[in-house]
């Protein structure tokens, strides 16, 4: 939640929230925005060699497509966590605009000396603006109190506080991005120094809406199958801890989500997509701008700089005036929303360099996810010998925009249509098309979303357990023939098949293969003739499965005779008949 003042990122309230009184449904907080030039919030040179760039950006329309809204309703109940002295100072600054309640932690000495204060141990805070639930382990002044909900101890019927002002150095939340309405990292010895921040508390009283930043399709999610955990990329990357695991799927809390976008860029299947703005809209704008720069400045290559509108745009603007005219700033709501399809396509469309500016304040988890993406793409550039294209990222602008780049050999013409995997593969395939000579395939880093699997044919029993678990339908059974078939284009390298294999026969092999006829065609990983029932001749299992089962059970006390072992080689019907016949023989 930023506090910068510019057209693209308004103040603290309007950046994440649009007041319901102004909008019936969510819309951009500045609905007059009509061109990308206006959207950037940057100061552009308009004359001389800069004129063409200015005209290009001014003529490029940019209005994010509408998305659904997330609503908040917040009253004026503020919980202050801290000592009586700090709380009294804060209440003095707030006046009568806010109803303040005080929670004195166990490590603060002295009893609660006001009716609106409680001294308690083990404070737990969870929730968001308008709905913070605060639980305590022990009340230090009411030994007979069994109530654990602090709001109800204050006779707040709803059981929730609207905002929380935490004067302690330690936060109640481990996430890098705290929930809206929670304030921490304060100077606990000097409340007066926090007067500006306290002024935002009354502004957060009312009804608000913010965009729903994501869409989620559980049908293609590779988080898990049948209790076996697979991909956890989004959970690991979210700086707001807005995503939790719910069995085989995940759940995103829209009230905690702050639109970082890194969940979508980390997702290998496209189950999570960025909804405001949508990736396809960003990609089309990027294509138009890069192609426009190539036309406006012949024999040069634009230098695309991705800039975060909250954490980087002001610092970038200070240096922007000194940069060469071929620098193309691409300002985004969140730098984490820039995925492999954006970075790779910018280079494929003709950019000589793509730079991702991770300015101070960018969450650590976002930076780590971006590093992985940059590493993946640089692997492809290196393997395809596209040495005239450069991709880098840094928290400084050193070396950015210092020289005009020579034009690249060729530029791609594909339309940015399809999901993230499709567009990323288009960009990678283009790099390989212009490679000399083109590569058939090459290995990728372990966290790649492209690749194949390897199966140990000696240990695989064709039990088909992996087939039933594969979220991408990359693994398929052979129908009437005992066979395991694989479609590489569908594999997302989630690892569920590897974890579900009872024989540990499967290993992941991340790679990039460029022959679409090969990766879209089912190939047989193992195939064998079926095992026929020794009694009726009906095929009912695989040779390897019966051999493995017989080998494992032949020493068991229940299978210590030839008849019991032979029953393993029978189909289900014949096995029952044989058991009944043996029982009859014993009785006679």
pLDDT per position as a tens digit, 502-517: 999 999 999 999 999 9
State the total domains in the chain. Answer: 5
Indicate the SS3 state at residue 337. helix
Query: Does one domain contain both 423 and 505?
Result: no
pLDDT exceeds 50 at position 153: yes
Per-residue pLDDT at 239? 96
pLDDT exceeds 70 at position 189: no
Query: Does one domain contain both 393 and 303?
Result: yes
pLDDT exceeds 50 at position 9: no
Given a contact cutoff of 8 angstroms between Cβ atoms, the answer to whether 166 and 81 are in contact is yes
Given a contact cutoff of 8 angstroms between Cβ atoms, the answer to whether 22 and 10 are in contact is no
Last residue of a domain, one of 274, 296, 316: 274
**pLDDT band with cut points at 50, 70 and 90 for residue 143:** low
Bigger pLDDT: 479 vs 151 = 151
Query: Does one domain contain both 518 and 537?
Result: no
Per-residue pLDDT at 271? 96
- Write out pLDDT tens, residues 50-106: 999 999 999 998 888 888 999 999 999 999 998 888 888 888 888 888 999 999 887
Asked if residue 437 has a cis previous peptide bond (ω within 30° of 0), the answer is: yes
- Write out pLDDT tens, residues 511-556: 999 999 999 999 999 998 888 898 898 888 888 788 888 888 887 8
Across the chain, mean pLDDT equals: 88
- Residues of the chain with pLDDT > 90, as a percent, come to 65
The answer as to whether 147 is a domain residue is yes
Q: What is the residue range of 426's domain?
A: 46-64+281-435
The answer as to whether 97 is a domain residue is yes
Last residue of a domain, one of 234, 249, 274: 274
Query: Does one domain contain both 413 and 287?
Result: yes
- Write out pLDDT tens, residues 304-327: 999 999 889 999 999 999 999 999
**pLDDT band with cut points at 50, 70 and 90 for residue 23:** very low
Asked if residue 277 has a cis previous peptide bond (ω within 30° of 0), the answer is: yes
Question: pTM of this prediction?
Answer: 0.84
pLDDT exceeds 90 at position 135: yes
**pLDDT band with cut points at 50, 70 and 90 for residue 152:** very high
- Write out pLDDT tens, residues 200-210: 899 999 999 99
Given a contact cutoff of 8 angstroms between Cβ atoms, the answer to whether 308 and 239 are in contact is no
What is the average pLDDT across 127-150? Answer: 82
Last residue of a domain, one of 274, 291, 317: 274
Query: Does one domain contain both 189 and 296?
Result: no
Q: Which stretches within 46-149 are classed as H helix?
A: 51-59, 84-94
CATH of residue 520: 3.30.70.3270
Query: Does one domain contain both 403 and 316?
Result: yes
Query: Does one domain contain both 356 and 342?
Result: yes
The answer as to whether 307 is a domain residue is yes
Query: Does one domain contain both 260 and 170?
Result: no
Per-residue pLDDT at 24? 40
Indicate the SS3 state at residue 284. helix
Given a contact cutoff of 8 angstroms between Cβ atoms, the answer to whether 485 and 525 are in contact is yes
Given a contact cutoff of 8 angstroms between Cβ atoms, the answer to whether 371 and 447 are in contact is no
Query: Does one domain contain both 264 and 409?
Result: no
Query: Does one domain contain both 410 and 544?
Result: no
The answer as to whether 493 is a domain residue is yes
What is the average pLDDT across 567-572? Answer: 88
Query: Does one domain contain both 539 and 420?
Result: no
Given a contact cutoff of 8 angstroms between Cβ atoms, the answer to whether 73 and 207 are in contact is yes
- Write out pLDDT tens, residues 324-380: 999 999 999 999 999 999 999 999 999 999 999 999 999 999 999 999 999 999 999
CATH of residue 389: 3.40.50
pLDDT exceeds 70 at position 26: no
**pLDDT band with cut points at 50, 70 and 90 for residue 39:** confident
- Write out pLDDT tens, residues 229-288: 999 999 999 999 999 999 999 999 999 999 999 999 999 999 999 998 899 999 999 999
Query: Does one domain contain both 413 and 300?
Result: yes
The answer as to whether 218 is a domain residue is yes
The answer as to whether 38 is a domain residue is no
Per-residue pLDDT at 111? 56
Per-residue pLDDT at 474? 97
Catalogue the E-assigned strands of 51-171. 69-74, 77-81, 99-104, 117-121, 124-128, 131-135, 138-139, 163-166
- Write out pLDDT tens, residues 383-441: 999 989 999 999 999 999 999 999 987 899 999 999 999 999 999 999 999 998 999 99
């Amino acid at each position: 939640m930023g506090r910068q003042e510019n057209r693209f990122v308004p103040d603290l309230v309007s950046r994440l929230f649009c007041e319901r009184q102004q909008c019936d449904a969510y819309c951009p907080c500045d609905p007059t925005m009509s061109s990308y030039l206006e959207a950037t919030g940057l100061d552009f040179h308009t004359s001389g060699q800069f004129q063409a760039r200015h005209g290009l950006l001014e003529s490029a329309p940019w209005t994010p497509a509408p998305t659904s809204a997330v609503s908040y309703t917040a009253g004026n109940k503020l919980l202050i966590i801290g000592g009586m002295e700090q709380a009294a100072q804060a209440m003095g600054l707030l006046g009568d605009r806010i109803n303040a309640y005080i929670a004195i932690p166990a490590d603060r000495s002295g009893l609660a000396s006001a009716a609106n204060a409680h001294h308690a141990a083990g404070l737990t805070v969870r929730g968001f603006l308008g709905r913070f639930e605060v639980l305590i382990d022990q009340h230090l002044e009411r030994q007979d109190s069994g109530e654990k909900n602090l709001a109800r101890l204050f006779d707040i019927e709803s059981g929730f506080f609207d905002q929380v002002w935490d004067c302690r150095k330690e936060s109640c939340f481990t996430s890098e991005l705290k929930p809206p309405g929670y304030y921490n990292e304060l100077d606990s010895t000097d409340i007066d120094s926090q007067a500006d921040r306290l002024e935002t508390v009354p502004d957060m009283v009312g009804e608000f809406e913010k965009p729903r930043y994501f869409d989620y399709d559980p049908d293609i999610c590779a988080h898990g199958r049948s209790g076996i955990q697979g991909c956890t990329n989004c959970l690991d990357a979210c700086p707001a801890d807005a995503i939790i695991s719910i069995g085989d799927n995940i759940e995103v809390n829209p009230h905690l989500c702050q639109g970082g976008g890194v969940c979508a860029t980390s997702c290998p299947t496209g189950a999570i997509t960025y909804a405001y703005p949508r990736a396809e809209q960003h990609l089309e704008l990027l294509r138009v701008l890069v192609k426009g720069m190539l036309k406006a400045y012949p024999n040069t290559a634009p230098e695309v700089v991705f800039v975060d509108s909250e954490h980087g745009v002001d610092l970038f603007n200070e240096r922007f005036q000194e940069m060469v005219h071929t620098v193309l700033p691409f300002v985004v709501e969140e730098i984490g929303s820039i995925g492999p399809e954006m970075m790779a396509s910018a280079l494929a469309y003709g950019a000589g360099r793509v730079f991702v500016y991770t300015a101070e304040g960018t969450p650590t988890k976002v930076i780590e996810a971006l590093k992985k993406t940059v590493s993946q793409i640089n692997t492809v550039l290196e393997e395809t010998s596209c040495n005239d294209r450069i991709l880098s990222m840094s928290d400084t602008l050193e070396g950015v925009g210092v020289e005009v780049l020579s034009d690249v050999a060729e530029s791609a013409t594909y339309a940015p249509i399809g999901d993230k995997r499709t567009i990323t593969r288009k960009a990678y395939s283009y790099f390989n098309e212009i490679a000399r000579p083109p590569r058939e395939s090459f290995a990728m880093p372990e966290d790649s979303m492209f690749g194949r699997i390897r199966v140990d044919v000696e240990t695989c029993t064709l039990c088909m357990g992996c087939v039933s678990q594969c979220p991408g339908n990359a693994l398929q059974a052979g129908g009437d023939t005992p066979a395991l078939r694989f479609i590489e284009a569908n594999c997302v390298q989630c690892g569920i098949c590897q974890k579900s294999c009872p024989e540990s026969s499967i290993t992941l092999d991340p790679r990039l293969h460029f022959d679409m006829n090969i990766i879209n065609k089912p190939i047989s990983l193992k195939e064998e003739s079926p095992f026929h029932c020794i009694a009726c001749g009906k095929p009912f299992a695989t040779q390897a499965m019966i051999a493995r089962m017989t080998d494992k059970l032949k020493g068991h006390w229940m299978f210590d005779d030839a008849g019991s072992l032979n029953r393993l080689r029978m189909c289900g019907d014949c096995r029952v008949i044989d058991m009944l016949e043996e029982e009859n023989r014993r009785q006679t």
